[in-house]
Amino acid sequence: MRLLAVLLPLLLLLRSAEPRRGPRSKVGERGGGRVRGRGRVGVVRRQTQECKEYMEAGEKYLDCQDRQLTTVMQEWPTDIQHLLLARNKIQVLRDNMFSQFTQLKSLDLQQNDISRVEDGAFAGLSKLTTLLLQHNSLRTASEEVLLPLPRLTYLRIYDNPWSCLCPLDSLVRTLQVPSHRNLGNYAKCAEPPSLSGTKLKAVNVDSLCAPDARPEVGGGRPPIKKPIKKKPEALSMCHTYMFPKLLLDCSSKDLNSIPADLPSDIVKMDLSHNGIKHLRPKQFLLSKDLKMLNLSGNNLHDIDTAAFAGLLYLRELDLSNNSLHHFQYGVLEDLYFLRKLSLDDNPWVCDYNIHYLIYWLKHHPGVYYTGLTCAEPREFRGWRVEDYVKTYNGECPKERQTEGTDAGQGPQGGSENEAQEVVGETGEAHGDRLPQHLRKKPKKFEVIRLS
């Protein structure tokens, strides 16, 4: 009995202690201690997997675009040659931010919200040749930013609100070095008002630190503003993408005309879904490297003869979903290497004006085209344009050849052979009326009709 009296309290104490250990162990499993730490690593791993890593032309790319990123991840592979970070939420480029990516050749940071770049942000990128910082919120920077980049040959910083004052002096002087042909092209001052719209490459650097260049606090005459261009500029309204091909994306920008200052090195250009109605001569003359041009969904009515002048290497042209009736003669003559022509959803009018398009396609059999269907006139609606042209050039039915003479009308506009044919057929019935020299000739003639 004494033994039971001793063991019973011990058993009760052990049972009361077991429920307390249970909840503590469950908390640990959910998020405490070492298990919680492994969960955080898992999150980073999933975020890394969202970036697309691939090889192209023997070089490694890491595509982290549209990921809502605010910085780079240390877990990313360090042997990549191209890093794509466009359309994220990065605001500040801090010192040594990319120092682990020593093999980088190109860095795409466009369309973020970058407002500050520290002087050592690009430290370690000695192999970088291309840096894209356009479409951000940069107002100033110094030449110290570019010093770690000895091989930089291509820099884009346009569509930033550059403040052309004394702190920008060193960067502007670097951009204006004659050998830096592709550094900072198209970038413009946003302030002061006297320099608004002036390209950084053209601004007078001696005036940046002048006393009169500082914005006035109050009093004095307001600065004279330069006239604002009404024609839209490509680089301020459109987005440029470097990879996989150099693309200028101007789709759905409410454009009424082709933008001015089209870059000369663009390979693909998307001008679809705007309000462009008329293509005028030589508007693409500077875009000599263009290979793909998309003008679909623009309500195009007219294309002038020299509209595509200079596009010698264009391979794909999309003119679908417009309001084209025909092509003027000579419109396609500059497109020597065209391989694909999209013409769907246009109200093609099948009359004599459509013949040039078929003639050109016949003499360029390597061009694959779609969408050539007659919309007007009603009797040819739904016909293939090629079939209409064949019918137009085909022989007229025999009943139509003699229709005019049966009605008592002479052959209008007929050839000399047709006229002789009519005379030969009627000579037998009216032999007495024919002149002597016609009576001796055969009454039937072989007629060769020339189309």
Q: Which domains does the chain have, with CATH numbers?
A: 48-210 (3.80.10.10), 245-393 (3.80.10.10)
Count other C-beta atoms under 10 Å from residue 399's C-beta.
Answer: 8
Tell which wins on pLDDT, 402 or 197.
197
- What is the rounded CA–CA span in Å between residue 304 and residue 331? 7
Q: What is the pTM of this model?
A: 0.55
Tell which wins on pLDDT, 10 or 317.
317
Tracing tokens 């309290």 back to the chain, one arrives at 9
Nearest by Cα to 370 from 341, 350, 327: 341
- What is the rounded CA–CA span in Å between residue 262 and residue 290? 11
Nearest by Cα to 69 from 125, 109, 117: 109
Range with the poorest average pLDDT among 148-152, 254-258, 282-286, 396-400: 396-400
H helices present in 394-439, as ranges: 398-401, 403-406, 416-426, 436-439
Instruction: Work out the angle at residue 243's Cα, subtended by the Cα atoms of residues 256 and 71, and round it to the nearest 5 degrees.
Output: 105
8 Å CB contact between 93 and 120: no
In the chain, % of residues over pLDDT 70? 70
- What is the rounded CA–CA span in Å between residue 85 and residue 52? 11
Look at residue 426 and tell me whether its pLDDT is greater than 70: no
- H or E element at residue 369: strand 368-370
Long-range pairs for 165-170 at CB < 8 Å and ≥24 separation?
A: 165/140, 165/191, 165/192, 165/208, 165/209, 165/213, 165/214, 165/215, 166/208, 166/209, 166/213, 167/140, 167/142, 168/140, 168/141, 168/200, 168/208, 169/205, 169/208, 169/209, 170/142, 170/143, 170/144
52-109: per-residue pLDDT in tens? Answer: 999 988 999 999 998 999 999 989 999 999 999 998 999 999 999 999 999 999 999 9
Long-range pairs for 102-105 at CB < 8 Å and ≥24 separation?
A: 102/78, 102/126, 102/127, 103/78, 103/79, 103/127, 104/80, 104/128, 105/59, 105/81, 105/129, 105/130
Q: How confident is the model at residue 185 (pLDDT cuts 50, 70, 90)?
A: confident
**Mean pLDDT for the chain?**
77
Q: Are strands 368-370 and 340-342 parallel, antiparallel or unpaired?
A: parallel
Q: How confident is the model at residue 285 (pLDDT cuts 50, 70, 90)?
A: confident
Rounded to 5 degrees, what are φ and ψ at 247? -120, 135
Q: How confident is the model at residue 315 (pLDDT cuts 50, 70, 90)?
A: very high
Q: Are strands 154-156 and 162-163 parallel, antiparallel or unpaired?
A: unpaired
114-141: per-residue pLDDT in tens? Answer: 999 999 999 999 999 999 999 999 999 9
| Per-residue pLDDT at 62 | 93
* Residue 442 CB contacts under 8 Å (≥ 6 apart), including other chains: 424
Tell which wins on pLDDT, 445 or 261.
261
